[in-house]
Chains A and B, each alone.
Chain A
Amino acid sequence: MRRIVLPGDMVAEDRVRMENTYFRDGKTFASVLGILDDERGSVISLEGAWKPKSGSEVVGIIRSVDRKTCSIELNHSAPGILIPDRNSRYSPKVGDVVESIIARVERRNVPIMERARPVAEGARVIHVKPSKIPRILGKNNSMLRQIEEVTGARISVGVNGIIAISGDNTDDAIYAIRLIEENAHTSGLTDRVRDVLTERVSRH
């Protein structure tokens, strides 16, 4: 059974450890507007901000470059700090759009970044709600791969809600991403996106 829960709704009569919940008086309550999946025992948030976690793959924009470090704008209350790898051929410039990975999260929620590499020059950048990213990626990135295959676009998806799109048919790729974002809570999305995209691309 899947149902919508609100902050303060009881989701278990006992203490069950799951994301987006809290314990009070030996019971478990939802802390966000989300979907409770009884079988999986999880509350999936329907909206909300992104929180940096180590290992997350993100997309950001180089905001400043110092002698030793540079900062990356990430759609977060603090920019990420990158210490460029001396062995890397890439030297960051202000304004570059980069894919990067969060190595760890420091005190005060500052993400420390690693393995930054630039996306294609002239890529378009859009913001989406971070809570919709899992649907845009799909199971094992199946949705993302489908969009790339049908359109010929190259898409870098950051779990922080920033997406960079380059290559062919970028308009169609963005159209598909917006379609998923608006209908993220519905089922049968993979087929719908494929049909709509195939139709759009064939018109060119």
Chain B
Amino acid sequence: MSGIDIVKSNYVKEIIKRGERLDKRGAFDIRDIKIENNPLFNAEGSARVNLGLTDVIAGVKAVIEEPHSDTPKEGNLIVSAELLPAASADFETGPPGPAAIELARVVDRGIRAGRCIDMEGLFLEEGKSISLYVDIYVLDYDGNLFDACSIAAMRALMNTKLPKYENGEFNMEDRSVPLKIESIVSSTTYGKFGDVIIADMNAEEEAATDARLTITTDGKAVKAMQKGLNGSFTIDEVERLVGISLKKHEELKSKMES
């Protein structure tokens, strides 16, 4: 962290501990979410999501592959994330680092644990099934990549139309089979500053927080969680935040469905 970042983050810590936020939001208010459906059309499904000034794009490609030996009658889901160097002065070129890998795996776990996709429905025939590659690109960074990427991945899957499977291969001219979505999950990410907890941190807040918690639900139950950074949460806090996430689900789901 540069000196100016430390000066900025000290200020952020102070005002959040006073119960305020830089942009005057309430502690659990989520910034504006804008979704653009299928901005790309070479991908089988895509979505671009703006969460405040954070800007991410997800693309889904379907590929015929051999099923995994432990799930011979199922397809595959592979989620990857890339923090493009275009998105922030702090993102570097090169293969995905720990931050990008954690991000992708948290999004992946939410979708998998939420049983959002019928994996058996992706089975084609003996030795052949569909692998869904979901790649998420972070284009512009202003905090809370977990929730922005989770919305983008979910929405890109909801937008996915698979090519017809004919004579052992895909007919790319006819992509008309909508991917069946069994369930929609949403994630909410929190940050802790002393005893104060807020949701949907922007970049300045994220740089100043001690502990981060992502909770993914389908509105009825918790499907995945991930705590990050070196601070800690109490059990009471986690229980309270799970309650908030379950309530937030409807709001997020209706955004994703609109």
- Residue numbers of A with Cβ under 8 A of B are 61-63, 73, 75, 94-95, 97, 122, 124-125, 127, 162
A-facing residues in B1-38 (Cβ within 8 Å): 2-4, 6-8, 11, 14
**Interface residues in B, total, Cβ within 8 A:** 8
Q: Are B11 and A95 in contact (CB under 8 A)?
A: no
- Cβ B6 vs Cβ A162 within 8 A: no
| Contact between B4 and A95, CB atoms less than 8 A apart | no
Contact in complex: A73, B2 (CB < 8 Å) = yes
Residues of A within 8 A of B14 (CB): 122
Q: Which residues of A contact B7 (CB under 8 A)?
A: 61, 95, 97, 125
* CB-defined contacts of B11 to chain A, threshold 8 Å: 122, 124-125
Which residue on A lies nearest to B22, using beta carbons? A171
Shortest distance from the beta carbon of A120 to any chain B beta carbon, whole Å: 13
Contact among A94, A122, A127 with B4 in the assembled complex (CB-CB below 8 Å): A127
Task: Kindly list chain B residues whose C-beta atoms are within 8 Å of the C-beta of A162.
Answer: 4
Check A95 against B2 for contact (C-beta < 8 Å): no
A-B contact pairs, 26 of them (CB 8 A): A61-B2, A61-B3, A61-B4, A61-B6, A62-B3, A63-B2, A63-B3, A73-B2, A73-B3, A73-B4, A75-B4, A94-B3, A95-B3, A95-B6, A95-B7, A97-B7, A122-B11, A122-B14, A124-B8, A124-B11, A125-B4, A125-B7, A125-B8, A125-B11, A127-B4, A162-B4
Within 8 A of A (CB), among B27-85: none
State the CA gap A203–B5 with chains docked (Å).
Answer: 31
Give bound CA distance, A124 to B7, whole Å.
Answer: 8
A173-B139 Cα distance, complex, nearest whole Å = 30
Distance (whole angstroms) from the CB of B25 to the closest CB of chain A: 14
**Closest residue of chain B to A73, judged by CB?**
B3
Q: Smallest CB–CB gap between B1 and chain A, Å?
A: 11
A203 → chain B closest CB, angstroms: 13
Central interface residue in A75, A95, A122, A125, by most chain B CB within 10 Å = A125
Min Cβ gap A60→B in Å is 8
Measured CA separation A162–B2 after assembly (Å): 13
The CA-CA distance from A122 to B18 in the complex, in Å, is 15
Besides A63-B2, A73-B4, A162-B4, 19 more A-B contacts (Cβ < 8 Å) are: A61-B2, A61-B3, A61-B6, A61-B7, A62-B3, A63-B3, A73-B2, A73-B3, A75-B4, A94-B3, A95-B3, A95-B6, A122-B11, A122-B14, A124-B8, A124-B11, A125-B4, A125-B8, A125-B11
User: Roughly how many angstroms separate A124 CA and B15 CA in the complex, as a whole number?
Assistant: 11
Taking the closest CB of chain B, its distance from the CB of A1, in whole angstroms, is: 36
The 4 tightest CB contacts between A and B, nearest first, are A61-B3, A73-B3, A125-B7, A63-B3
CA distance A63 to B6 in the complex (A): 10
| A45, B118: Cα distance in complex, Å | 56
Cα(A124)–Cα(B2), bound, Å = 15
